[in-house]
Each structure stands twice: as C-alpha cells, then as structure tokens.
Structure 1
Amino acid sequence: MDVSTLFSVKDKVVLVTGGAKGIGYMISSGYVANGARVYISSRDVKSCEKAAAELTAKGPGKAFAIPADLQKLEHVQNLVRSLSAREKKLHVLVNNSGANWGESYDSYPDDAWTKLLTLNLQRVFTLTQLCTPLLEAASTGAGGVDPARVIHIGSIDGIRVPSLETFAYSTSKAGLHHLSKVLSAHLGPRGITSNVLACGPFESKMMKVTLEKFRDTIEEGVPLKRIGTPEDVAGACLFLSSRAGAYINGSVITVDGGSHCSAKL
C-alpha cells in the first residue's frame, strides 16, 4: 500500500466539463500536476485553449481543449465523438459544468428552470450516458479493483436550504445528488462508480459576486473559518479517481469545511 501508487492517477484519461475556470480549473490542475491526460470542455473556446496551454506547460501531465456548449445536445454528442477519435478509454469523467440563477421568489423566471435543469442535471445524464462505452473500456469490469469513475460536482445547497433565492440551482443540485446514487446502482455492475462532491464556498466566477458582498459572513459560517482552496477540491477528486477511492460508490461527500453542519441559531 505505497502512497505513490495508492493515490496515483498517472496516465489516466480524464474529462472535466467546465474545466477552464473556477472549481473546474482547480480540478483540472490537480489531475495534470499528477500526470493525467486531461480534456477540458466548456463553451468558452478561448478559455479552454488558454487553460489547456497553461496546464500543459506546467506538466507533467497534459491538457487538451474540446470546447462545447453543454446546454445543446448536439454539442454534447460532438464532444464525445471528438474524445472518442482521440482516446480509446476514459478513466474519469468529472461533471462540473453548471450555472446559477438568483432572483426574488416573486419574479423568478421560468427560463431559469429550463436553463439550470438542462445544464446542471439533464446534460449530466446525457454526457455520462454517451461516455459510458469509453468508461467501460477503461474499467477492469464488474468485480475488478480499478473501476472507471464518474464524479459529479454538486453543492451543499443541494443538502441544506440556502438563504439566497437560488430556487432552480438548489433543486437541480439536489436532483444531481440523487441522480448520482441512481447511476451508482446501474453503472456499478458495469465497472463504473458514481459519486458526488457537494462543494461549499470556493473562489469561482459563480461565487464572485456573493463573496464580494458576503465573504466575512460566509467564512464565519464555516466551522473551519475559511473558504475552500484548489487543493481541497482537487485532492478529493484525486482520491476518488485513484486506487484509494475505488470502493467508494454512491456517496455524497461534502467538501465545505463543515458548513452544512453549522446551525445559524
């Protein structure tokens, strides 16, 4: 049980959606820094290419850009076709792409539900479904000790009830958590695990405005009194993707400093 092999992801092929910015970039960085081949996908073409070039320059792994607007079914299909043309196996799929929408209850629009349920939930299923043959090819199969991994980036707002008016976001993340459990039961026999990281506050584009306004309040509400760092979320992904995490399936792991357990009163 040598640490260098127990937690290794060297030479694994990884797809990270939304991997060019925020938490996704933190995750991509962790994989590349530990020798994986990482494919980064998001609708922002320039950001994908920039992130891939930066991470490859740092090494020792490599990163590649496959831009795609994951809201659109044809883009998801093209993403998987492009990946399949380059790789015969996919060891790890990280479903990180997501969106948020905050607005008062009385004016909360129908469009918010369509956008967030599509990207945060439906397309997670679509992409996982289409990647399944590549994931199966990377797995040692049912009963094997090295399954392929699907990691979904959820949220503690899918566990607790947030005070912010993010109705569609919170609901979509709660749905994602349950979807992962359903997938764990169906994909486990095919040699693929499915788990969630329910993340708390991290430095990201999605959290930028909230942190600017409420950073002190947010940090005070976290028992560890800080927001997350790149090492926190990347480390959790590396664990789940390595031999050390091979028997974890159907779990929702909170990566939030304990804030989901902190009562306000």
Structure 2
Amino acid sequence: MSNLDISNLFSVKDMVFVITGGGSGIGAMFAKALATNHASKVYILGRRLPALEATASTFPNTIIPIQCDITSKPSLSAAAARIAQASGFVNCVVANSGATGPVLSGLPKDRAPSLQEVQTYLWDTPMEDFTQAFEVNTTACFYTLVAFLGLLGKGNESGVARERGVKSQFVVTTSIGAFSRRPGMGFAYAASKMAVSFLGLWLAFLLTRLVISGSDWRLDIRANSFCPGVYPSDMSKGMMGENDITKEGSVSPDTVPLTRAGTEEDAGGALLFMCSRAGAYINGNVLISDGGRMSIVPATY
C-alpha cells in the first residue's frame, strides 16, 4: 500500500511555501524542515535581511530570502509579485511573524507590587506600543493572507497538489499565551494572539466557501494554527536567557511536564504533518505543541 508509505504520506517534495518571520526562531525551523524534505522553494519573508540570509545559506537553492515589512501593503504586494513571477503558485503560506508588545517584567519581582504600582506601570505604557502588537500579530497576519490569496488558489491547480490531494493552506503561528488565563509576556501579546487564533478558526470556514452579497465561491483553501509553548527564539530569550533548555530535564515539570523546551524536530515535524498528505483532512485545527504546559496551568483551549 504505497499510499501509506511514510515517503508519500509526509512528503512535501516539489511544494512551494511562504513563511513570514523566517529568519529566526520557529520560522527558521519551519524553513529548514521543509527544505530538508525537498520542498521546491521556501520563501522566507522578514525585515532583517541578514537574519534571512543566514537561514537561507543552509539551503541556498531552496530557501529564498525576501526582505519584506508585513505591516506594509506595498511591501507584501511586492513580495507576492516576485514569488508569482518566480514560482507561479504557492501551496502554503505560514504567517509566523510576531511581536511581543509591552511586557510585565518591569514590575517588582522580589515582592507583590501594590495596586498603585501596577496602575502606574500599565498607564505609562504608550497606547501605540500596545496597538503595535495587534498590528503585527493580527492585522498583518490577515493582510499576508490577502496578499497571497491568488497564489494559494493557483496552488490548488498545481500538479503536486492534484497528484497528492492536498489543498492549499494558510497556517497561523499563534501561542499558548492566547489560551492561558495568566498574562504571561503581557496583555497585548496574549490578546493579539487570541485574536489571531480566532481569525484562523474563522478563516477555516471563510476560505473553504466564501459567501458575499449573495454570491457563493468555493475557494478550497484550508486554515490551521500552530500553537507553540516555550521554544528557543528571539522573543523567548527574556524568559529563557542564554541557557539551552531543549534537553530533557532542563525545565521543571511544574513549568513543562515534558521538562524541556520545543526543538526544531518538534516544530518541523508538526508543520510537515500539516502540509503533507498526512494532514490533508485538517481544517480549522489548532495544533498545540507545548510539552503539556496547558494541562497544568489555568487555561481554556
């Protein structure tokens, strides 16, 4: 039964991908996993060209760096036009870029802060900083989808999609911070990630069948979310420091039951499942990869 062979079931060979925030952290893990497994092209987008180029240097013929500001519609349009000219279609877009926004680390750690201290600290945070987390984590995610919608549609017409029976897909990288009842890194981060998590669920219906003003279109584009816990990234350095906590036993089981942070195998394996024939029936799913943390903290998911 060759259809159940692992080389067919989890193959992303000859598929075309776009990953925002692909220069570091989980985005870079995703890109390397796809390139290792013979994706045709993996376009990584981000503002920091040196970081993108460093990731692309590991697979120079497959991972293609494109400097792009996802909060800018002209920048997104330019990136989509370049990819359209080079590849003609996209099988999957991963909206992975993220911003932390205002954090709570400025409050006292050696004692419980007073109510006045909390109010002052939160009030002194500019509204623009709070809104910026939503701009990157939610608004830009939506416009990333819109920029590549036509290419995702053409992905469904590609030979590799028809051969494997895998519909085009939009993947959102969200966070367990969206579901935890503790603010974690901050209120703006958690709220914006909750917003984009809901957006991913809503898009699962919208992109399958779009009904506007009485007109009915079948788009046949899937939408799913990858929801990570603690993974090594620029964003998590404030909590993790410079220590390698990916080894089993390096994290307290009271923090993560599996006693470690996530690795590139964990992130890459999850995306390979979601994008290959193995995950082709997945739509509207939130794949939580957190070592069990959400099972031991107050959370709703």
TM-score, normalised to structure 1, is: 0.91
1:185 lines up with 2:205 in the alignment:
yes
Question: What is the distance in 2 between the residues matched to 1:86 and 1:165?
Answer: 39
CA deviation after TM superposition for structure 1 residue 192, in Å: 1.1
Moved more, 177-186 or 76-85: 76-85
1:254 lines up with 2:254 in the alignment:
no
In structure 1, the residue matched to 2:85 is 85
Query: What amino acid sits opposite 1:26 in the alignment?
Result: M
Question: What is the distance in 2 between the residues matched to 1:258 and 1:74?
Answer: 40
2:129 aligns to what SS in structure 1?
Answer: helix
Question: What is the distance in 2 between the residues matched to 1:181 and 1:25?
Answer: 24
Question: What is the distance in 2 between the residues matched to 1:7 and 1:174?
Answer: 29
Conserved 8 A contact 1:140-1:147: no
In structure 1, the residue matched to 2:279 is 245
Cα gap change, 1:218 to 1:73, in 2 (>3 Å)? farther
In structure 2, the residue matched to 1:23 is 26
What does the per-residue CA deviation read over 1:169-200, in whole Å, with 9 as the maximum and x for residues that have no partner?
A: 10010011110111110112312110001110
Query: What amino acid sits opposite 1:258 in the alignment?
Result: G
Question: What is the distance in 1 between the residues matched to 2:270 and 2:25?
Answer: 16
In structure 1, the residue matched to 2:213 is none
Please point out which of 123, 129, 132 is paired with 1:115: 132
Question: What is the distance in 1 between the residues matched to 2:13 and 2:165?
Answer: 17
Q: Which runs of 4+ in 1 moved over 6 A?
A: 213-218
Query: What amino acid sits opposite 2:15 in the alignment?
Result: K
Conserved 8 A contact 1:219-1:227: no
Conserved 8 A contact 1:140-1:146: no
Report % sequence identity. Answer: 30
1:133 lines up with 2:145 in the alignment:
no
Query: What amino acid sits opposite 2:53 in the alignment?
Result: E
CA deviation after TM superposition for structure 1 residue 82, in Å: 1.5
Matched ranges for 1:132-171 at <5 A: 132-139=149-156, 145-164=165-184, 166-171=186-191
In structure 2, the residue matched to 1:105 is 122
Conserved 8 A contact 1:140-1:191: no
Cα gap change, 1:165 to 1:156, in 2 (>3 Å)? closer
Query: What amino acid sits opposite 2:203 in the alignment?
Result: L
Query: What amino acid sits opposite 2:196 in the alignment?
Result: L
Question: What is the distance in 2 between the residues matched to 1:140 and 1:161?
Answer: 42
Larger of the two Rg values belongs to structure: 2
RMSD: 2.2
Moved more, 100-109 or 212-221: 212-221
Cα gap change, 1:13 to 1:109, in 2 (>3 Å)? same
CA deviation after TM superposition for structure 1 residue 165, in Å: 5.1
Cα gap change, 1:186 to 1:163, in 2 (>3 Å)? closer
Query: What amino acid sits opposite 1:244 in the alignment?
Result: A
CA deviation after TM superposition for structure 1 residue 212, in Å: 1.9
Question: What is the distance in 1 between the residues matched to 2:122 and 2:242?
Answer: 20
Gaps of 5+ in 2: 105-120, 210-218
Query: What amino acid sits opposite 1:133 in the alignment?
Result: G
Query: What amino acid sits opposite 1:80 in the alignment?
Result: A
Higher helix share goes to which structure? 1
Question: What is the distance in 1 between the residues matched to 2:190 and 2:55?
Answer: 28
2:57 aligns to what SS in structure 1?
Answer: helix
Please point out which of 193, 204, 215 is paired with 2:233: 204
Query: What amino acid sits opposite 1:261 in the alignment?
Result: S
In structure 2, the residue matched to 1:11 is 14
CA deviation after TM superposition for structure 1 residue 218, in Å: 6.5
Question: What is the distance in 1 between the residues matched to 2:37 and 2:12?
Answer: 6
In structure 2, the residue matched to 1:34 is 37
Question: What is the distance in 2 between the residues matched to 1:219 and 1:74?
Answer: 46
